[in-house]
Amino acid sequence: MDDLFFSVKTGIKSIVGKDLITDDNIAVFELVKNSYDAHARKVIITFEDDRIIIADNGKGMSLKDIKDKWLALAYSAKKDGSEDNFEEEDKRESYRDKIQEKRFYAGAKGIGRFSSDRLGTSLRLVTKTNNTNSYEQLDVNWKDFEKNDKEDFIKINVPHKSLNDYPASFPDNSRHGTILEIYHTKIWHRKTIKELKHSLEKLINPFSETNDFEIEIICKRELELDKKGIDEQGKPI
- Indicate which CATH number applies to the domain containing 29: 3.30.565.10
Query: Is pLDDT above 50 for 102?
Result: no
Total-model pTM:
0.85
Asked whether residue 1 is domain-assigned, the answer is no
* Residues in CB range of 12: below 8 A, 6 or more apart: 73, 153
Asked whether residue 105 is domain-assigned, the answer is yes
Structural domain including 41 reads 12-228
Q: Around Cβ 47, how many Cβ atoms within 10 Å?
A: 21
Asked whether residue 197 is domain-assigned, the answer is yes
For residues 39 and 92, give the distance between their C-alpha atoms in angstroms, rounded to a whole number: 9
DSSP bridge partners of 179: 55, 126
Asked whether residue 185 is domain-assigned, the answer is yes
Q: What's the whole-number mean pLDDT along residues 119-136? A: 97
Asked whether residue 153 is domain-assigned, the answer is yes
Angle at 168 between CA 167 and CA 169, to 5 degrees: 120
Asked whether residue 6 is domain-assigned, the answer is no
Asked whether residue 52 is domain-assigned, the answer is yes
Asked whether residue 103 is domain-assigned, the answer is yes
For residues 108 and 76, give the distance between their C-alpha atoms in angstroms, rounded to a whole number: 6
Query: Is pLDDT above 60 for 101?
Result: no
Q: What's the whole-number mean pLDDT along residues 62-88? A: 78
- Please tell me the predicted confidence (pLDDT) of residue 212: 81
Number of domains composing the chain = 1
Going by pLDDT thresholds of 50, 70 and 90, the confidence category of residue 89 is very low
- Please tell me the predicted confidence (pLDDT) of residue 209: 62
Please tell me whether residue 127 adopts helix, strand or coil conformation: strand
